[in-house]
């Protein structure tokens, strides 16, 4: 999603783009993969082999009307999943249509895994603080088998857009390393069948018993509203427990999960729904960009590392954003900067802004691991850094209705229809206009008149010599 957003925007401004995609299709997380990291179900060894963490029954948590590109809305299509909160396949189809409508297929090198991105030796300043980048890739067979290192290319800029819902963040629990029964991270969960009739502890079904663990002993005795209804609906089958204190593997206690209040259960499986961590195993910036406590930094406005801007940038690091709208704005900003239409502040000023941001978050009590959770700032970011049209009020309202409903009932919120008249009116207009726009874009592409910008390739203006950007879904410009 981020990589495609970047590719379109970079092309729009006339830059040559190569998107390196390790999978045999586009879609990223939305390319459902029934395979799992079976030999490492915890995902303890980075990087994981399987990218997508989608499980079969997933449905969106955000309404589709809030999830489109600004000029290519995520409209229901005949014969597809028309629900407001559709399943993963619908997003996959949508992204494929986006590729077709904007003629991006020829920019994407599939089955191409980026194994190293580093400044091209010797580190070359290209004026304006730019570097050239050496990108090493390896061919990946559709079955995931990796070939030997295949190619090295030099690019003028790299946009990192590799997602951050693949590499598990594992808890540290006594006895995890000696637990002999099944345990896995949610990254490796696909379908419920293997757990049927089991006793499962889920750290955060169709199993016989599910023991959800709360974040604290207090939360276990007085659960938040969003959990209350689910617990009532599944009385007996799902139980809310305090956090896990230890896992017992072997001996008389084998299979016992002990909770923080001293209670215990004998479990067949433990599933860690403990989130994901940022991971850039291919990126060698010589320590300029690091991941520390799940903070990627330093990144000016979550996008540019000041010391390596503008030739290195990131799309998709922020969380709790409207995707792909927010990614589109980031990509548009990067494209404007790389094409010389917009300037970044001097490096020192960007560094100062990053540290001010860290200080403000700390003062507001935001944990470091939530540095990139920027829900309240997204509109400001988009309007400040890009020329995207404003998010309409009715969409915000629709999103908030869904959000409030989630709090009330986690299981049924998607199927409620309690829109206000403002939302209904917005929806009518949206369907009318956006469906026509979608079809026109696809029709124009099919007839050769690709809706994307003209393909006149320009030289990034900060470069002294003719050259190229890589988007290593990852995307790059030459
Ligand atoms: C279970 C689940 C449910 C979700 N539900 C929602 C939802 O309801 N709404 C929502 O907005 N978001 C949801 N998300 C988040 C979702 O992942 C993002 O919205 C979106 O997919 C992010 O897009 P992205 O392009 O940044 O990352 P990704 O979709 O992860 O794409 C990254 C791409 O980079 C490629 N890549 C990675 N490393 C390399 C490499 N070394 N070389 C070459 N290619 C590489 C990958 O193969 C992939 O194609 C969910 C995520 C999960 C896991």
Sequence spans of domains, the chain: 2-166+281-477, 176-272
Q: Residue for token digits 């309409």?
A: 392
Which atom of ligand 1 lies nearest, measured to the CA of 2? 25
Q: In sequence order, what DSSP letters do the residues of 103-147 get, joined into one string? A: T-GGGEETTEEEEEEEEPSSP---STT---EEEEEEEE-TTS-EE
82, two tokens: 């028309």
Quick check: CB of 331 below 6 Å from ligand 1? Answer: no
**In angstroms, rounded to a whole number, what is the distance separating the alpha carbons of residues 183 and 271?**
6
Decide if 292 contacts 346 (C-beta within 8 A).
no
CA distance readout (Å), 289 to 250, 285, 303, 306:
43, 6, 11, 10
**How much is the pLDDT for 130?**
65
Residues 6+ apart with CB under 8 A from 91: 27, 30, 60, 67, 74
Decide if 258 contacts 184 (C-beta within 8 A).
no
Q: How far is the CA of 24 from the centre of ligand 1 (A)?
A: 15
Quick check: CB of 119 below 6 Å from ligand 1? Answer: no
pTM of the model: 0.91
Q: How far is the CA of 49 from the centre of ligand 1 (A)?
A: 14
4, two tokens: 């495609």
Q: In sequence order, what DSSP letters do the residues of 180-241 get, joined into one string? A: -SEEEEGGG---SGGGTT-EEEEE---SSEEEEEPSSHHHHHS--HHHHHHHHHTBTTEEEE
Closest CA to 463 of 250, 325, 310: 310
Q: How far is the CA of 161 from the centre of ligand 1 (A)?
A: 9
Using most ligand atoms within 8 A of CB, pick from 81, 83, 163 the residue to mutate for ligand 1: 163
**How much is the pLDDT for 218?**
73
Q: How far is the CA of 330 from the centre of ligand 1 (A)?
A: 16
**How much is the pLDDT for 236?**
76
Residue of the CA atom closest to atom 8 of ligand 1: 60
Strand boundaries in 222-370, DSSP class E? 238-241, 244-248, 256-259, 264-266, 269-272, 283-284, 290-292, 295-297, 312-314
**In angstroms, rounded to a whole number, what is the distance separating the alpha carbons of residues 144 and 316?**
24
Q: In sequence order, what DSSP letters do the residues of 142-158 get, joined into one string? A: TTS-EEEEEEEEEESEE
How many CA atoms, within 13 angstroms, populate the side-chain half-sphere of residue 425? 6
Using most ligand atoms within 8 A of CB, pick from 28, 59, 69, 136 the residue to mutate for ligand 1: 28
Which atom of ligand 1 lies nearest, measured to the CA of 60? 8
Which atom of ligand 1 lies nearest, measured to the CA of 27? 49
CA distance readout (Å), 432 to 84, 116, 119, 243:
16, 46, 48, 49
Three-class secondary structure of residue 77 per DSSP: coil
Which atom of ligand 1 lies nearest, measured to the CA of 114? 42
> No. of H helices and E strands in the chain?
9, 20
Quick check: CB of 163 below 6 Å from ligand 1? Answer: yes
Residue of the CA atom closest to atom 38 of ligand 1: 162
Q: How far is the CA of 473 from the centre of ligand 1 (A)?
A: 10
Q: How far is the CA of 52 from the centre of ligand 1 (A)?
A: 7
- Helix (H) or strand (E) holding 282, with range, is none
Q: What is the pLDDT along the chain (478 residues), one digit of tens a residue?
A: 999 999 999 999 999 999 999 999 999 999 999 999 989 999 999 999 999 999 999 999 999 999 999 999 999 999 999 999 999 999 999 999 999 999 999 999 999 999 999 999 765 555 445 689 999 999 999 888 888 767 999 999 999 999 999 999 999 999 999 999 999 999 999 999 999 999 999 997 434 556 776 766 677 777 776 677 778 888 778 888 888 999 999 889 999 999 999 999 999 999 999 999 999 999 999 999 999 999 998 999 999 999 999 999 999 999 999 999 999 999 999 999 999 999 999 999 999 999 999 999 999 999 999 999 998 899 999 999 999 999 999 999 999 888 888 888 878 888 888 889 999 999 999 999 999 999 999 999 999 865 443 333 444 444 433 345 666 566 666 5
Task: Tell which CATH architecture fits domain 176-272.
Answer: 3-Layer(bba) Sandwich (3.50)
Quick check: CB of 22 below 6 Å from ligand 1? Answer: yes
Task: Tell which CATH architecture fits domain 2-166+281-477.
Answer: 3-Layer(bba) Sandwich (3.50)
Three-class secondary structure of residue 286 per DSSP: coil
Which atom of ligand 1 lies nearest, measured to the CA of 61? 8
Residue of the CA atom closest to atom 41 of ligand 1: 114
Decide if 65 contacts 74 (C-beta within 8 A).
yes
Residue of the CA atom closest to atom 49 of ligand 1: 28
Quick check: CB of 321 below 6 Å from ligand 1? Answer: no
**How much is the pLDDT for 346?**
97
Phi, psi of 137 (to 5 degrees): -125, 160
Q: How far is the CA of 117 from the centre of ligand 1 (A)?
A: 20
- Helix (H) or strand (E) holding 45, with range, is none
Using most ligand atoms within 8 A of CB, pick from 31, 162, 303, 328 the residue to mutate for ligand 1: 162
**In angstroms, rounded to a whole number, what is the distance separating the alpha carbons of residues 19 and 8?**
10
Query: Is it true that 2-166+281-477 and 176-272 share their CATH fold?
Result: yes
**In angstroms, rounded to a whole number, what is the distance separating the alpha carbons of residues 457 and 41?**
45
């Amino acid at each position: 999603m981020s990589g495609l957003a970047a590719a379109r925007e970079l092309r729009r401004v006339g830059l040559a783009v190569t998107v390196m995609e390790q999978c045999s299709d586009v879609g990223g997380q939305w390319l459902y993969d029934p395979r799992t990291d079976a030999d490492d179900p915890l995902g303890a060894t980075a990087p994981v082999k399987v990218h997508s963490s989608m499980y079969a029954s997933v449905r969106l948590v955000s309404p589709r009307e809030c999830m489109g590109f600004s000029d290519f809305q995520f409209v229901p299509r005949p014969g597809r999943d028309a629900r407001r909160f559709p399943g993963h396949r619908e997003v996959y189809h949508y992204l494929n249509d986006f590729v077709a409508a904007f003629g991006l297929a020829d920019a994407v090198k599939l089955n191409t895994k980026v194994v190293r991105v580093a400044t091209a030796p010797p580190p070359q300043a290209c004026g304006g603080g730019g570097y050239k980048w050496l990108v090493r890739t390896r061919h990946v067979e559709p079955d995931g088998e990796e070939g030997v290192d295949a190619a090295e290319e030099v690019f003028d800029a790299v946009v990192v857009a590799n997602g951050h819902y693949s590499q598990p963040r594992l808890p540290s629990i006594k006895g995890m390393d000696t637990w002999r029964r099944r345990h896995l991270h949610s990254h490796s969960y696909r379908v419920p069948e293997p757990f049927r009739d089991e006793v499962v502890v889920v750290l955060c079904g169709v199993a016989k018993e599910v023991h959800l663990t709360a974040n604290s002993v207090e939360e276990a005795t007085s659960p938040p509203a969003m959990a209350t209804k689910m617990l009532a609906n599944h009385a007996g089958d799902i139980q809310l427990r305090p956090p896990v204190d230890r896992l017992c593997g072997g001996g008389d206690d084998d299979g016992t999960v002990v909770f923080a209040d001293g209670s215990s259960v004998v479990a067949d499986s433990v599933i860690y729904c403990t989130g994901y961590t940022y991971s850039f195993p291919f990126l060698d910036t010589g320590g300029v960009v690091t991941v520390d406590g799940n903070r990627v930094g330093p990144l000016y406005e979550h996008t540019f590392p000041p010391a390596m801007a503008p030739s290195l940038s990131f799309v998709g690091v922020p969380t709790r954003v409207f995707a792909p709208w927010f990614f589109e704005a980031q990509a548009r900003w990067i494209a404007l900067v790389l094409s010389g239409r917009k300037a970044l502040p001097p490096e020192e000023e960007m560094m100062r802004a990053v540290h001010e941001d860290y200080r403000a978050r700390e003062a507001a009590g935001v944990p470091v691991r939530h540095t990139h959770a920027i829900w309240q700032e997204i509109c400001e970011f988009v309007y400040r850094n890009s020329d995207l049209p404003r998010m309409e009020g009715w969409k915000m309202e629709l999103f908030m209705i869904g959000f409030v409903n989630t709090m009330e009932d986690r299981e049924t919120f998607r199927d409620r229809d309690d829109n206000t008249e403002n939302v209904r009116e917005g929806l009518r207009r949206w369907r009318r206009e956006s469906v026509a726009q979608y079809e026109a874009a696809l029709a124009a592409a099919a007839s050769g008149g690709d809706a994307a910008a003209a393909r006149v390739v320009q030289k990034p203006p900060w470069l002294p010599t003719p050259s190229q950007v890589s988007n290593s879904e990852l995307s790059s410009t030459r």
